[in-house]
Structure formats: structure tokens, C-alpha cells
A and B are shown apart, each in its own frame.
Chain A
Amino acid sequence: MSLLEIRDLSVTFTGWRGAPPVHAVKRVSFDLDPGETLALVGESGSGKSVTALSILQLLPYPAASHDPGSSIKFAGEELVGAPPGWLREVRGNRIGIVFQEPMTSLNPLHTVQKQIGETLLIHNHLSAAAVRARTLELLHLVGLREAESRLNAYPHQLSGGQRQRVMIAMAIANEPDILIADEPTTALDVTIQAQILELLRDLRDRLGMALLLITHDLTIVRKMADRVCVMSHGEIVEAGAAGEIFAHPQHPYTQRLLGAQPKGRADPPPHDAPVLVEGDAVKVWFPIRGGLLRRVKGQVKAVDGVSLKLRAGATLGVVGESGSGKTTLGLALLRLIDAQGTIIFAGREISRERQRALRPLRREMQVVFQDPYSSLSPRLSIAQVVGEGLRVHHLASDEREARRRIDEALVEVGLEPEAAERYPHEFSGGQRQRVAIARALVLQPRFIVLDEPTSALDMSVQAQIVDLLRELQRRHGLTYLFISHDLRVVRAVAHEIMVMKDGKVVEAGPTDAILETPQHPYTQALMAAAFDLTAEPGEVVRPH
């Protein structure tokens, strides 16, 4: 008998107002044994998180329901439809769970000590002193530095990695038999991701837990999992030992998933191309004010003297952890935020131009944002979103001309012209990102700042967007500033790479040179984290 036995688990969400019910999970079966790591892999919407939540019976019943015959046996006892008392005993005590977004899964009003202590108090009835001692022990266990002083810290005072460590401490507080980790590292930087994964593996071995890892990232699976279940559209399409699946994927979906990593390289750029964008000692400092009179006490140096040259038709990849100033640099080059230093676009100094004078130039320099869910106004149809720039710059003589150019732009990014009449909420993340690219493209710009255009998307969609961007560059000779924390994606698009840390450039050069022989220890740490998922020992990476 396994620790956890799931047999024919189905989850159905009732449709609202006559909408057909959604079968989120269909007849899923798998086992989990102590000490092993099982990975549930699939793209968003494949039902992996719903499966995990049904183990703890945390779905919104009765809107969600399990079909008859569904069975989840934990240590031989049925969990589906179990009495609330037994479920409370299991939740947080025998089975712990770590969620994706550590900022929203911690209560912002409670200190670290209170959050962790709560689980201990509910299940163990310890004394206050014992709770404190155990909390400290847990914080040491999850590798949180200066644990004593962190006890009274609130979540906003911790970094993303620290918050995730606190979440893990909460989940393992009662030494559960099973730890469910639902995309535990998706919201974190690559270097932190590697540290957290290492911690999870270490805890699994030390506490003898079973680890159920839910992720869309195959690199993580390869590194962590003993066994893998590949999910697609609510079904497990393939299951088996991790090595076996990676070596010989049987199901076409698995094969596609494995082949979906962003790969290939950018075409070599024209060598004699003129410099299109040039920045010299670009600085963006935000003043910190304090005291009664709001005097400037110091500066946050978001971008601190960055110089760069970007040739027409080339791509510069800007790499760094969150907070390193990548996005700020991109916005500063477009003059969307105020910056000091010299910025030259197409031979014209734009760093001192007034916004009004810049407006005609906006047609030639565009931006695509990270989150396609927030960058499209929900009130406008796709045609209105894409056509907005045409209207502002009076690029279309009449409605039919505008419509023709909108359709062209949509086709170019791989959407149907019929999409124009629909609204953003009807599209998936990848399709929305295509719309955002079409909005930039319809103006026929020369320079596009791509601010993490793939990081909110599924892995296979990332590969498609990368292919699309390369294709567009080939066709129109576009110049990209590609901002990303993901070296795997950057490798596939960038001609040159610039590594940023704390607002400064630590290393820059041609992509191959940087990736093959990284000079700076920070670059080496980033690469180890991105390609091998190993955390560098010591203090190379900012301590978390």
C-alpha cells in the first residue's frame, strides 16, 4: 500500500447559467511513496493544481464536485468526502502545501513567528515558549539567515526567496508525511529558484517526506523528480520514471513538451549596420525622502551609469535578477521615465527633448510588456487595441485602410484577422502577448523594447513567441532590447548580452563569448542557476 493512492480522480466545475460544466480533471490515478518525488507536469490549465488541491479537499465545493468512483486514499483512509474533523487533522499536519506566490499566501498583518506558530498551536497545543523554540528551529532548518531577528518581521520586510522559505517552514512545521509544492519557484529569480529547490530536496531526504512537485518547467523536473506524470487537458497522458520519460517520451504531447524549449540562435546581424540606439552613462536615481521636511536622505540607484550601443537589426539581451534595473533601463531609453545621461536614437539626441517633441518618434520605438494580462485594456476590442497607435499618429487615411493594416499586423503575429472583433479576455496568455506585439508592430517601428515578453507564459508558448520575435526581426530588420531573467530564452534571441546587477553592468559582450566563458562570478552564478539549477555556495548572489 502506498502512502497516497489516487484512483480515477475526476473534478467537475458546474457551469454558470447554462454554461456547460468544465471537466478539469479526468480519471487521474497515481501513487506516492515516502521519500520519493513525483512531478506533475503540464501547461497552465492542464489540471495539475486542481489535482493537488483535491488531495486536501480545498476546492470550492459545491461548485466543484468529484465524480462517483473518485478516490484519494491517504495512509489507507479515504479523503474524498471525509468528515471535516479528519480533514483538518490531515491538512497542515500530515500533508503540507507550499503555494506559488509567497507574497499572497502569507498574511501581510502577521509576523513570521505568528504565521508559523499558528500551525503548531492548532495541531499540537504547545506552550508559547515551546512554539517559539520550534519556530526558530524550523527557520534554521529552511536556511533563513538571522532567524532570531526575523521572528518579528512582516512578510513585506522579506524578499521573495525568504518568504518562500517561511512558507516552506509553515508547511513542514508538523513534519508532514507529504509536502505538496505547487509551482514553488515560478515567482522567484533563477538563482533563488535553485536555492529553494535544493532546500526542498534536502528537507525531503532529512524528514523522509514524499514530495509532490507541480510545475510546468521541465528543467526543474529533470533535476528533482524520481517519477513524472505528464498532464494535458485534465488527463495523465504519460507516467513513468523521470529518466525514462526524458530519454524516450512515448506520448506525442510529452514529445512536444520536451521539444518546446526555446532553442536555436538569432541570425547573425549585419556587421556594417549603423548604431540605432546609444546610451551613455544613463542614470535613473530615485530619491529617498525622510524626516519631517521630506528632505532627500539618499538615492535608490536603479540604473547607475549604464552605457550601451545597439546596432540596427541586432538584439541586445539585458540579463539580471529582479531589482537589478533592467526594466528601468528599458523605460529610460524610451524616455518613459526621467533619466540623466545621453540617449541617442537614430542619430538624434533625445535625452533632453520634451515629451511633446518626442511624440512623432514614439512611432519608431515601441515596447512590449511582461504581463499580457495587464497590458491590454479589458474594455477595448483587439481591433481598437491594435488600431490605437494608427489613430494617434494618423497613419491610416480612412477606416478601411486602418482595418487593412490591423488585419495585416494580426496575421503577421500569427493570429486570425477575425480576432480583431474579440476582447482580450477571450484569449490565452500567449495569444494576448501576440496582440501586444501586433500593437507595437502596426506602427512599423525600428526599435522595440521587449520587457520579459515570455516570462508570464508557458514553456511551449515561450518557444513560439521566441520564434515569432526572431522571424519578425528577420523580416523587418527590427532592433530589440530584450530584457529577461531567463538565460535560456536570452540565448535563443540575443546577439549580445549585458549582465546587470544593482543598476550596474557587470559584464557585456557577444552572446557566445558570455555564455561559454563568463568572466564575472555573478554571471557564472546566474548561469549555474539557469542551466544546471545549482545554487552557488557563498555570497556571490545577493544573500536571501
Chain B
Amino acid sequence: MRASSPARPTFLGRRITPLTRRRLDNFRANKRGFWSLWIFLVLFGITLVAEVIANDRPLLIRYDGAYYVPVLHNYPETTFGGFFPSEAKYSSPAVQKLIEEKGWIVWPLIPFSYDTITYAPGPYPSPPSRIDWLGTDDQGRDVLARLIYGFRISVLFGLALTVASSVIGVAAGAVQGYFGGIIDLGMQRFIEVWSGLPTLYMLIILASLVQPNFWWLLGLMLLFSWTSLVDLVRAEFLRARNFDYVRAARALGMPDRQIIVRHVLPNATVATITFMPFILNASITTLTSLDFLGFGLPPGSPSLGELLAQGKSNLQAPWLGITAFLVLAIMLSLLNFVGEAVRDAFDPRKVIG
């Protein structure tokens, strides 16, 4: 018998099982994955607050003894002594002059939003400069600002799709594996046919029937992505329902629902969590390819795929293609490294200590 450790393992102040502790240690032992996770989290954190990093509205205005927060509120131009009752256009030199006569302006780090026309000296796309750090695209919008917003929408889309398809996939797999028999057989055949459909073409056809927005795209892609986890979860359930401790739970008189949640599902979580980073990657890639082909998010949305398409049609402006390529490559690599580390952490054969 191993000597018991006197201190109970904890993580973020919560008590955890020693098994979880070992997995966390395994994850941390994979340096590349551990640092990838942190870099990714920092990048994602920055883009989550994209509005205060890259915006064409000032963060704070001091005008005539009062404070204004244009990031959060709309103020008509008349507030600052202008002529128009419409919203103030802070990027125009006239408005800036009006404000600075009676106060000051604090701008975000990048004074452009994803749809701001920068008025950089043309022709567009214009090369990187001190104003547009990564240049502008073919409609005169700041590439860096679009990247920040595009990164956010890609990751959020990927996460939403991953979570939704995992929930459906685990539920379907659980039903198949636990009950087996004719249900299992029927659903297996259906899934085989369903996953035989050429996904990208189906998406293109469906996307041409409706005007796709974020939620439409999510729904359409969910139609085809939920199947990826079913086989795994089904196999885990088939295996786990014959475990001695599951049989012991049945002998205790536990209802099926409780057995599934408490004893069988934890076995499937390992497979699910291991696969999640890779599903996330696949989701992001699919969205990018749709955007690249022009069947994705509505025109004007910040998107990495659209930037890639611009880079392809503007080979004379290499900053577009190179930027989009680097961002995608780095993002997908980071997620892959994290995925590998997660896989190692949950590997039952990898017992360290």
C-alpha cells in the first residue's frame, strides 16, 4: 500500500480527486502544451475586450469639465459644440479639434474598429505604416483591427460549435452505448449515411438558400459536426456498462439514469475532453474555408477567411496573405499543442509516479 499523502489535493481552492491531480500534473509536465494554453488564453483574453483595444471611438473624453465614455454610450455631435444632432464622428479632424479646445481625448491603442475606413493614403490595399501597423485591406480598413475582431469571432464560433456538438454527440453516443440493440444498430447506420454526405458542398448549398449570419452558420455546421464524438462515447459506454463497479451499482438498486451520470459518463468524459481541442480546430478551419469561399459570415464581418481571400486576390500586397496565414497557423498550432497536452494528461497508460 502506498503511504497516504496527508494533504488532500486541491486545485483553485477546490478539493479534487487524486486522479484529477495526476492529470493536472501530467498536463503541466508537457511544457509546450502548458505554455501554448497560456499564450492562447492571453490572446483570447485580449481579443475578448477588442472594443477597448481597437475602436474608432475614444475610451474617455474630457470636455468642458465633464467626462464622456464614447465606447459605452452614443453622444450627438452637438454635445461637443458641433452642428449635427447625429452621433459624433470622432475620427474626423473637425470633431477632434472641437473637443481638444475644451478638454482632451484618450484613444484606444488602435484607433480603428474592424469596419473603419482609415483614410490612409491610397491606393488600397496600402502597405504597413505607422498608422496602420499591418497595412489596410482592399477597402481601406485597418488589417490589425480586423484581425483582432476576426480572431475573436473565429474562436467564439469554434467554441460554441464544439460545445454544442459535444453535448449532442455525447447524448447520442450514450443512448446508443448504454441501451445497445436495435437503437444502436439503427443510429449507427444513420450516422454512417449522414457522415457520408460531402459536408462542405452541403454547407455551400444550404448557405446559398438563406442569408447566413453567425447563428445560421452555427446551426448549419452543427448538422454535420455532431457525429464526430458519437463513436467514441458509444464505445466507452459499451465497455463501461460491464464494469464491475457499474454492476455493483446496479446491485445496489441504482436507477439507470443515476448509473449513467455517476459511473458511466465519467469514463466517456476522458474521450470527449481529449477530442475537444481538435474539434475546436476543425470548427475554426471549416468556418475559415467557408469565409474564404465567400459563403460564410455576411459581407463586412471581420473574418480570417475573408482576409485570406483578399490576400489571394491581391498578391501585390503580401502583408494581407502573410498576416492571415501567420495568425491562422499560430492559432491552430497553439490549439493543437494544447490538444496534445490534454491527450497526454488523460492517457491512462501514461502513469508517472
Contact = CB atoms under 8 A, between A and B. Distances in A.
B156 to A, nearest CB: 32
Interface string B233-277: 000000000011101111111110010000100100000000000
B4 interface: yes
A388 B4 contact: no
- Judged by DSSP, the binding face of A is loop
A426 B6 CA distance: 12
A86 interface: no
Contacts of B353: 15-17, 19
Interface residues of B, number: 25
Contacts of B251: 334, 336, 362, 365-367
Nearest to A422: B4
A367 B248 contact: yes
Nearest to B1: A428
Contact of A392 (B17, B253, B266): B253
9 contacts: A16-B352, A362-B251, A362-B252, A367-B248, A375-B244, A377-B266, A392-B258, A423-B18, A427-B1
Interface string B135-155: 000000000000000000000
A381 B4 contact: no
Interface in A388-432: 388-389, 392-393, 421-423, 425-428, 431
Given A388-B249, A427-B1, A443-B252, 5 more contacts: A360-B253, A375-B245, A375-B248, A392-B254, A426-B2
Given A17-B352, A379-B266, A392 B252 contact: yes
Given A360-B253, A388-B252, A426 B244 contact: no
Q: Which 5 A-B pairs have the closest CB atoms?
A: A362-B253, A16-B353, A375-B244, A359-B253, A428-B1
A443 B253 CA distance: 11
Contact of B8 (A19, A367, A378, A421): A421
A374 B255 contact: no
B19 interface: yes
A245 interface: no
A17 B18 CA distance: 15
B18 to A, nearest CB: 5
B252 A389 contact: yes
Given A17-B352, A369-B244, A374-B245, A423 B252 contact: no
A207 interface: no
A379 B244 contact: no
A16 to B, nearest CB: 3
A369 B266 CA distance: 21
Nearest to A418: B4
A336 B250 contact: yes
A376 interface: yes
Interface in B1-52: 1-2, 4, 8, 17-19, 25
A439 interface: yes
Given A362-B252, A379-B17, A431-B1, A369 B247 contact: yes
A191 B353 CA distance: 39
A283 interface: no
B253 A393 contact: yes
Nearest to A18: B353
A345 to B, nearest CB: 13
Interface string A256-293: 00000000000000000000000000000000000000
A350 to B, nearest CB: 13
A92 to B, nearest CB: 26
B2 A423 contact: no
Contacts of B18: 423, 425-426
Contacts of A15: 353
A366 B252 CA distance: 7
A9 to B, nearest CB: 24
Contact of B19 (A16, A359, A361, A378): A378
Contacts of B4: 422, 426
